[in-house]
Structures are given as C-alpha cells and as structure tokens.
Structure 1
Amino acid sequence: MVNQILYAAITIVIGVGFAFIYFWGSNWLLDRLLSTENVDGPTSIRRDSLRTRIRPWLFLFPALFFLTVYLVYPVFETIRLTFYDGGGRNFVGSSNWLWALNSPAFVQSLINNALWLIVVPSAATAFGLLVAVLADRLWWGNIAKSMVFMPMAISFVGASVIWKFIYDYRGSGEQIGLLNAAVMAFGGEPQAWITLPFWNNFFLMVILVWIQTGFAMVILSAALRGIPEETIEAARIDGASDIRIFFDIMVPQILPTILVVWTTITIVVLKIFDIVLAMTGGQWDTQVLANLMYDQMFRANHFGHGSVVALVIMIAVLPVMIWNIRQASSEQGTH
C-alpha cells in the first residue's frame, strides 16, 4: 500500500514537472526565436503576429498529440486489421466481415445489445425523471437524491460484485443471496438467476439501470427547476391535475434534456463490458459486442475478428454521439 502511494506521488510529480517544463520551455523558446528586440518596423509587427498565432498551438499540442496517438491512429489501425488475418500480417479481404455475418456468437451479441439498448436507457431515464419529480415533494428529498445518486460513485465491477451477492445461488445449501431469500420467504424455490437464458440479460441490465438512474435524476432535476413556476401555478389554477401537469407541461418543456440523457446512457450501453465480464463472463447467452471483441482479440488472439467487432461498436456509437453533441450545443445556444 505504501509503495503504491509512493509510486502515485512520484508519477504526479513527474507529470506536473514535465508539463511545467514543456509549457515554460516552449514559450521561452518561441519568445527567443521570434524576439522583437533590436527589430523595428514591419519585421517586428510580423514577428508579433506570428508569435500570437503560434502560442495557442503550443498549449494544444500535447492534447492533439495524445489524441492522435491514442485515438486517431488506433481507429485507422483497427480499420486496417479488419482486412487481415488473426496475426494482422496477411491480407484476407472481406473474410472477417463474412465471419461476423455467419457467426452465431456475433448474432447473439447483436441481439443482446439491442435488448440492452431498448431497456436500459428508457428505464434509467424514466426512473431518474420519476425520482427527480417525487423527491422535490419530500422534505427529505435531498437525502433521497443522494441515496439514488450514490451508485454513480461505484465502479461497474464494484456494482457487479454487490449484485452478484444479491443474485447468489448456493444449490441445495443455505442461501445467502438477497433475491433468493426474498423468493423463499414467499414460498418459492431459489434459482441460479444469472444462468437463466434470456432472462439473465435483464438481471444484468438492472445493475446498469441502478447505476445510471442517479445520473439521469441529477440532470433532469436541474432541468425541472428551470420550468417557470408561473406556468405550473397557472395550470393548477385552471384545475389541471398533477399527472396532467407532469405530462402536458413538465415533460414537453424538458424534452430536449430527456433526449440528451437518453442518448448519453445509450452510448454507455453500446460500450457495456465490465458488468457482463464480472457477472457471467459472457456465458449463458449473455455475450455482448464489447465482450465478444475482448474474447476474439485477447483470448482467441484473432485481431481481424476482434477489429471487426470493435468497428461495429464504433459505427453504432458515432451517430448517437454526434447527435448528442449537437443537441447539447443547441441547448447551450438557446440559454
């Protein structure tokens, strides 16, 4: 533990020191190279202008460099590998794509991802909106919001470990799983919940809904506070019920925010990996695209198949992400 803290501290010192040396050194070098000392007239103006144009790029360069190395280059390398064999050496054309179309595991992963996309964003957004509305009516609403938001502070793997105990099944022995304890309390039989084909996908989805509801609640609660109080009061004076106010006034006014929350959670779902790996490892028909990519890339050591799956995930995420960014930008522009 002490060694880990020491290594972390050393890493921070080195990182901050390197950043200081880079930014100070690059600006010092720029000022020296384009110095206006002993220079008059148009040359001085030209150097000042050039120095002003170059300086912002000195600050942007580290970010652009790491984006290129860790984002742009891997994208093009992944596209290249989709046309090569497992070792990434021999060109095989479209055979990796044909493998994906004819692979039962790939088809099963697509179906499971589609299920996750239908259930999780809708459920998390709906529960988040419900909590945001109801919590404002309670004197202990802030406490309730804190409790709902708390799972956001837990990693996906940590949340999976918690829910693994909830779904735990011990065969014919004493049951310690909370869900089986509840089932037995009502006279039912304990089940190995995460091994039940098809239904086990929904048991895994509950974990992500539990985590993302807090995110949806915070964003939607802020949006609800932006609704003019006069509008709601006028509706109450006209005799509108709380349900009518919710569906006819609140929801339409925060609909853009609801869509942003929904699409943000959709992006998370498209990249879901940790929960499935920690809970089932992709067994019992729970495989999703990210887990299939991991299996093909690092377990089967077939870079071609893994790259195809990775590219499919990227293609699925990109339109949603672009729409989300544009929607968020338009939201900012209207305020």
Structure 2
Amino acid sequence: MKKLSNWKTPLTGLAILTLIVTLAMPVSAKTWKVAVGDAANSAQHEMGKKFAEALESKTDGKYKVNLFLNGQLGSEQDTVNDCSMGTLDFSLLAINNITPFSPTVGSLSLPYVIQSLEEAEQLTQGEVGKELAANTIRDAGVRILGWTYTGFRVLTNSKRPVKTLEDLKGLVIRVPKNAIMIDSYKAWGINPTPMAWSETFTALQQKVVDGQDNPFLTVHSMKFYEIQKYITTIRYIFSLEPLIVSEGLFQDQSKEMQAILIEAGKEATLHSAAHLRASEDAIKKDLVDKGMVIDEAADGEKEWIEKATKAVWPKYYDSIGGKDKLEKILNTLGRSI
C-alpha cells in the first residue's frame, strides 16, 4: 500500500477499504445451462446430476450447471440446434434426436444392433463411440461428452396385451420423429404416429394414441402407469441418451477446463450404467405394483427381429456411412450382418 501516495488521484480511506474488500471477495461460480428432455428421477436426470457433481468437484465450485427438466428449454431436436449455434450450453437428449443432424449416429439405433447394456457400453466407450462423437462435431457443431444408458425401449399401450405382431395391428403407437423408428414399426405392419416428446403424455391421456415405447426407467419417471396398462418387453432399440456440449463453448475453454469437462462426462457415463443395473429390476416391480402388466414378445421376439432387420438395415446403409460401418459395429460385438 506504500505506493498509493504516488497515484495521481489519491485514494481516500473509504476507497482503500472498498478496494481491499472487493479483492477479498470470492469470484462467483460460472453457471451453465443443461437442457434435459425427461422428468425428475429419470436416467437423464441421474446422469445430469452426476455430471454437475463431478464438474463442481473438479473445479472447486468455480463451475456449476443448472438442469432444466421436462423440455423446459425446448424440444430435444431444438436443443441440438441451440447448442450448435452457441445459444445453449449443454443438452441431455435421446440419440434419435441427434441422428437427423449427424446420420452416422443412427447406426446405434438401428433395430436389434445393441442387445445388452454391456454391448452398449462396449460401443459407446470404444472406437465406434469415438468415431461417432467426432462426426457429431463435424456435422452438428456439438460434442458428445457422455452417454446415458436408459435401457431397452419397451412397448406400452392402454388397450390390450401385445405378444405378437398380430396383436400390434390396430393400435395407434406414438414414436419420435425419427425415420429409423418409424420404419421399424412399418416393417411390423403398422403406421406409427410421429410426435414430439413434450406432447406424448397428453396424447396418451386423451387417447389420441394408444401407446408408445420407452425404457422402463422412463415409463416410471414419466408416470405412464397412470395412463397405460400393458407393457411388452421388446428389445428393438437400446436407448442411448448422450450429453452434448456446444462445440463453440468447448473450444472457448482452456485445455485444462476441456480435460475437466471430458473427465466429468466419463464419470457421469460410468455412473449411468451403474444406475441402470441397480435400479431397473426394482422399477419393473414397482410398475407391476402400480397395476401394469408385463408380457414378453412371443417366440423370443423372432418375427419382430426378422422383419425389422430385413426391412430397415439395408435402407440405412448409405446414411450411416455404408454397409461396412454396420459390419464393423457388429464385428466389434462378435456378430455379422
């Protein structure tokens, strides 16, 4: 403080005190927004909470995130656009809502490609996942930081038990606005109803549609047991829900901060897999306790698998980067086309 007397405008005692107090005040934390498509207690919410916890811990509280649940910040596809343009920081969303922007990601949502949680982990955390993540940066201007493992999309409806494709006929089924999923249902003999996620609960409640498909965790967190009676455990798509960050925001960070974001994403990914393993069976039981009826597809789902893979896979070879891309994925899993 001895040099203060040399300033052209001498500081008063009050000014000096104010300066000292200001310098001593802690810098407020930087807070980012995360759009979350699903409700509280969903797999997405669990993933988001773990990411927030890891980020805050690794930055000693200097960086935080706020989670905006239930699509408060727009539809999942809108949030991809917003992240790409830099008007939104992060989003947690279903993989099918990234596919229109980066079609190669659709390889992981082709029917019956992923047949277990372990296979989902192997693909997303390995070379396949790295390649797809690089493609989303190139194609969509967003970076995948982590993966939410939500489980197989099971079919629910309010009218009757469904065990065969014949049982499916006549039902009005909501699907996301995703071509692969639409074509899967067409292969099974029905024309599904594409609909935004934000409209789905009301449409089911008002009987505009009879059913929908989503993982057990989502069925539970969205309280579909209040408006749906029957579940069929089809396993045509394993639901992956990535955490994306605006690539512009990511590149604006220091190398140290970029590494922290990547590590926080990895921690949240591992937590998501552990959460699914720990909670899915209990959730199934609770759904039954709440009045839902769970049935398996007849004959090990053989007819569903045959029709969907035969009709859908070849149609999307070009969009996912070629038949060899799917062959590579299946070879990674010890299978072939």
Task: Please state which band the TM-score falls in when normalised by the shorter chain.
Answer: under 0.3
Q: Which has the larger radius of gyration?
A: 1
User: Which protein is richer in strand relative to its size?
Assistant: 2
User: Which protein is richer in helix relative to its size?
Assistant: 1
* TM-score, length basis structure 1: 0.26
